[in-house]
């Protein structure tokens, strides 16, 4: 952002002298062409634009010759960048032609520009007075660009370090994958108790820490839920939560899903909906079963609220009906 601002300021300073008093010089007419070949996947408008850019580049180079000549007559030397900037500002397109053509079986666009160059708009003496300010701004811009480059380099290095650390964590997780897979297989096949025993091998291993240990507790909590032992299941799910809630390596959001299932089993509908929602938001939102569980729970909570509202509404309407009847009798 700052770099663009400085660039705009530099351009503005170069443009300021262009409208001062200069030696009289007749406008010059120049013609420049640009050609671009159309590839198999190219759009015609893109090829035409490329040809136009080439024509503008050629026209600016020609205009630059007149700018340099004007500067020499005023005993002043311009840099290439200054010549290019001034030439572009005094170049006025009079006519533009875009010609599609086929040459040796190849489609291409030819853009021809007819331009007017008026060097009387160039006040080189005024430009000389601005050189010091331009140099200062250029120095500030270069310093800012160097700072931005250093920040970008630091970000790249930080990202590489994070990727390396993640790779290390993934490598550390590999030895436990077989035990986790076997635990899940046992649970899904109705052998939850055996699954709990399988994953306990990791929980009792002091080398297992961090996300892997949290997932081991989570799986053991799931196993105890399947055995109908809700209290023990909650203890294990809570232990998992206390260690880690990161889902980078393992789906630890399953803990919230099973909290919700325990709440459902205990008819605590509102809490069930809350934990299903937490699980869904933490997941990758592709688990169809979790989506159905969340929808079911939130519908139940909504119906429960509606039922209470209808009940209270019925009472109010009944009271009003009785009151109306009494008024009528009176």
Rounded mean pLDDT for each run of 10 residues along the chain, 330 residues in total: 42 41 65 89 88 89 78 68 74 88 87 86 62 66 74 70 49 69 92 93 87 94 94 95 90 94 93 94 92 92 58 44 41
- The single-letter DSSP state of residue 125 is H
The interaxial angle of helices 269-282 and 254-265, nearest 10 deg, is 170
Distance of alpha carbon 203 from alpha carbon 220, whole angstroms: 9
Predicted pLDDT at 154: 74
| H or E element at residue 31 | strand 28-37
Q: Which CATH architecture has domain 170-305?
A: Alpha Horseshoe (1.25)
Tell me what pLDDT residue 305 has: 58
Place of tokens 């601002």: 5
Domain ranges across the chain: 2-147, 170-305
200 Cβ contact list (under 8 Å, min separation 6): 216, 220
Backbone angles phi, psi at 160, to 5 degrees: -65, -40
The helix (run of H) or strand (run of E) holding residue 134 is helix 124-188
Instruction: Determine the Cα–Cα distance for residues 43 and 40; give it in Å rounded to an integer.
Output: 9
Enter the pTM of the model.
Answer: 0.43
CATH: 3.10.129, 1.20.950, 1.10.4100, 1.10.287. Which one for 2-147?
Answer: 3.10.129
CA atoms of 87 and 79, how far apart (whole Å) = 12
- pLDDT at 5 (0 to 100): 39
> What φ, ψ does residue 246 adopt, rounded to 5°?
-75, 140
């Amino acid at each position: 952002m700052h770099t663009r601002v400085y660039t705009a300021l530099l351009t503005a300073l170069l443009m300021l002298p262009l409208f001062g008093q200069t030696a009289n010089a007749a406008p010059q007419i120049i013609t420049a062409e640009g050609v671009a070949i159309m590839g198999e996947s190219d759009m015609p408008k893109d090829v035409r634009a490329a040809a136009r850019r080439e024509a503008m580049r050629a026209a600016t180079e020609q205009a630059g010759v007149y700018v340099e000549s004007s500067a020499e007559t005023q005993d002043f030397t311009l840099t290439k960048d200054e010549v290019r900037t001034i030439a572009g500002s005094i170049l006025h397109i009079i006519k533009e032609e875009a010609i599609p053509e086929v040459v040796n079986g190849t489609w291409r666009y030819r853009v021809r520009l007819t331009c007017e160059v008026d060097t009387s708009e160039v006040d080189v003496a005024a430009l000389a007075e601005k050189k010091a300010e331009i140099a200062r701004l250029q120095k500030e811009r270069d310093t800012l660009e160097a700072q931005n480059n250093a920040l970008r380099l630091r970000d790249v290095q930080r990202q590489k370090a994070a990727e390396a650390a993640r790779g290390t964590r993934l490598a550390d997780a590999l030895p436990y994958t077989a035990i986790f897979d076997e635990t899940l297989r046992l649970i899904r096949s109705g052998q939850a108790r055996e699954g709990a025993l399988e994953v306990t091998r990791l929980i009792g291993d002091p080398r297992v820490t961090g996300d892997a240990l949290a997932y081991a507790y989570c799986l053991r909590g799931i196993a105890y839920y399947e055995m109908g032992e809700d209290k023990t299941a909650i203890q294990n799910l809570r232990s998992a939560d206390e260690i880690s809630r990161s889902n980078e390596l393992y789906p630890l959001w399953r803990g919230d899903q099973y909290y919700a299932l325990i709440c459902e089993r205990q008819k605590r509908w509102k809490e069930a909906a809350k934990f299903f929602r937490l699980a869904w938001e933490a997941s990758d939102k592709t688990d169809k079963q979790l989506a159905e569980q969340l929808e079911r729970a939130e519908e139940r909570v909504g119906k429960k609220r509606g039922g209470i509202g209808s009940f209270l509404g019925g009472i109010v309407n009944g009271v009003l009906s009785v009151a109306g009847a009494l008024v009528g009798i009176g």
